[in-house]
Amino acid sequence: MDEIVKKAIQKWPDVPACYGWLGLDSRGDWFLRDDQVQRIGNFDVSKGTKLSHRKLIEFIGRNYQQDDRGQYFFQNGPQKVFVELELTPWVLRFDFETRVVTQTQQHVITTQAYTDELGRVYLETELGIGLVHTMDMDLMADELAKERWSLKELKVKELEEKFNFIKSPAHEKSQSRVV
């Protein structure tokens, strides 16, 4: 976490969290979701505006983390901005040395590969589960052929529970209000 963010949290410890305003798609792109976009529907229906400012994307990446409930958020100064996930909290690519790297540019160690009923491939890492980016499926196939990992099957609906994350913190928050 950035030092400036840590100082902001100390200075303003009680800033309310923000829900629904930031999304991460299955290609590792970040989307800003204003009120109008949120009124149209959930992230899978209405993504919003794709972020393209490199420094902002890097700032989000450095301050992206998971809380103890399995919700991912971006610590924006003193405010937690909970992230709507299209599929998984991590989108994984291979670098030139076939090391696995996240959308936040962190190299990770992988322990297991999975495939779902739609043929998508996931890797389990020390950070959690990540979807292999579609542009790297040829490299993934090469690694599977080398038997770098065994490939297990899972269902998309099992992802959140099996890997302890919440795709839509905004939905969870709205459901917790219903008594």
Kindly list the averaged pLDDT for each block of 10 residues, start to end, along the chain of length 179: 71 81 97 95 93 97 96 92 97 93 97 96 98 96 93 96 96 67
Amino acid at 95: D
Distance CA 135, CA 28 (A): 11
Q: Where are the domains of the chain?
A: 3-87, 90-163
Architecture, CATH, for domain 3-87: Roll (3.10)
pLDDT at 137: 96
Cα 43 from chain centroid? 13
Longest dimension (CA), the chain: 52
Distances (CA, A) of 120 to 24, 80, 115, 125, 139: 17, 30, 5, 16, 14
Instruction: Provide the total of helices (H) and of strands (E) in the chain, helices listed first.
Output: 6, 13
pLDDT attached to residue 14 = 78
Go through the chain and tell me how many residues it has: 179
pLDDT at 179: 45
Q: What is the pLDDT of residue 6?
A: 72
- Which of 118, 44, 124, 113 is CA-nearest to residue 84? 44
